[in-house]
Structures are given as C-alpha cells and as structure tokens.
Structure 1
Amino acid sequence: MTPHVVKIANVIVPVADQDGAVEFYTERLGLEKRVEVPFGPGFRWIEVAPPGADTTIALCPPGPGVTAGGKQTGISLHTSDVDAYHAELTARGVDVDAEVSRFGDAVPPTFWLRDHEGNVLQVTQTG
C-alpha cells in the first residue's frame, strides 16, 4: 500500500476572537503568524507555528454546532528549557499551571497553559 498521508499539515483550534488568538499565540507564546487568508463569507483562515516548524496551529472560527473555547486541544509544544519558558509565560500573564510537573526520569518535565479562550495546551521539555 502506498502511503497517501505524508505529514500532519495543521491542528485546528476553534476560536471566537481571531484577533485575540493571534495576539495570544504570537505575542505571549512566541509563535509566528504564517498564513492569514479569507475563508468563506467574512471569515479568515489563520495559521501560527514555532519558527521553522512544519505543522501549524490553525486559529479558525468554530464550525456549525461547535462552540469555541474551553477545549482540551491535545497540542503539545516542545521547549528546550521548560522552567525558563514557564517563568516567561508567567511574567507575560499567561494562565499557566502554578508549577512545572515532574513525574520522574521516564517522563519529561511538563506544564499546561490556557489560552485567552480557555483552550488547554501542554508544554514539554525536549532533550
């Protein structure tokens, strides 16, 4: 069987306030805006990502029957220094866990954060 899927293009987070989402993900988390194009009647398709990353996060209006905000996104952001990033986000006023969780050698240090609409993302130390 020939593989037809060759990469994960993006993950989608439905947001009610796209301008607020762009500000949060770029100014507070440090991601860069990659794409902003018209999307349907009066909507925009917006993608953000860490510099150099292939997979993006699409910050889109919610689809029919979908409520924006308060989602467990399943998105895990990787950082080389989880303690420094946690401190930086705390200083920027991001809603982060009170402390970095440490579960032992087999599990890297991690914490969770909530965006401006209460969507939850995980941050994990790599390397």
Structure 2
Amino acid sequence: MNHITGVLTIGVPVTDQDRAVQFYTETLGFELLMDAPLPQFGGRWIVVAPPGADVSLALVPASEDNPAGVDTGIRLATPDAEAAHKHFLAAGVDTDELLRWPDVPPMFSLRDQDGNRLYLTQA
C-alpha cells in the first residue's frame, strides 16, 4: 500500500509573516488559503498558493534551525516566462536574468523579502 499520495504544502521560512503574506499575495498574486494562530509554533500557520494550484506554501516563522534566506528549490509554473520576468523586474522584485537554453523551457529565479530563492519556469 502506498501511504503517500502527493505533496500538499512546502514550508518557506520567513522573518516577518505579515510582510511575507503581503509579498506572496500582492506581488506574486497568490491566494491566502489559511491564516490561523499557532502560538506553540511561534507565530501563525499561514498557507498561500497560486490560484487553482494543487500544492501550497506555508509561510513559517524562521528560526535558528530553519533560517530564512535559503534556496527553496521550489519551481513555480508560468505560461510566459518572458512576460513574468519583465513584470517582476518592473515591480522591483529581486529577480535574476531570464535563462534560455536549447530544449529547456525559459526560466528565471527571484527572491522574496527574506532572500528565499524561488524559480519560475515556463510551463
């Protein structure tokens, strides 16, 4: 029997949950799916996701054991990497160059307010 059937949520450590919610919802266009007090966790349980996505991100409080400012390895899908790249550059997001390699979808990386690296790849 397979006890694992999918990926639901990936944690991203942040130093300021309110600022992170603002960045992920207003700048990246994610939806706020949950924002619940969780004092034993040192903050709140906050879940955001692109509209209609199957996998979400939990904006968890950073700690000594779970520091912010990491390469998350998270690949986000975009229908048009070039347009997204231009949009985030114009919005002042810390964005790297648009990469175009033969036989590989265009992609680029950007960082949130804590320096957590996310990748956007043309789907």
* Shift in Å, 1:24: 0.7
Question: What residue in structure 2 maps to residue 54 of structure 1?
Answer: 54
User: 1:62: how far off?
Assistant: 2.4
TM-score, scaled to structure 1:
0.90
Q: TM-score, normalised by structure 2?
A: 0.93
Identity over aligned residues, as a percent?
A: 49
Does structure 1 residue 71 correspond to structure 2 residue 70?
A: yes
| Residue 37 (structure 1) aligned with residue 41 (structure 2) | no
Select the structure that is richer in strand: 2
Q: Which runs of 5+ in 2 are unaligned?
A: none
RMSD: 1.2
User: 1:65, 1:73 → 2: CA distance?
Assistant: 15
Unaligned runs of 5+ in 1: none
Aligned-partner SS, 1:74: strand
The residue type equivalent to 1:117 in the other structure is D
Q: How many residues align?
A: 122
- Summarize deviations over 1:30-77 as a string: whole Å, max 9, x none: 11111111113451000110101111000011245332x210001001
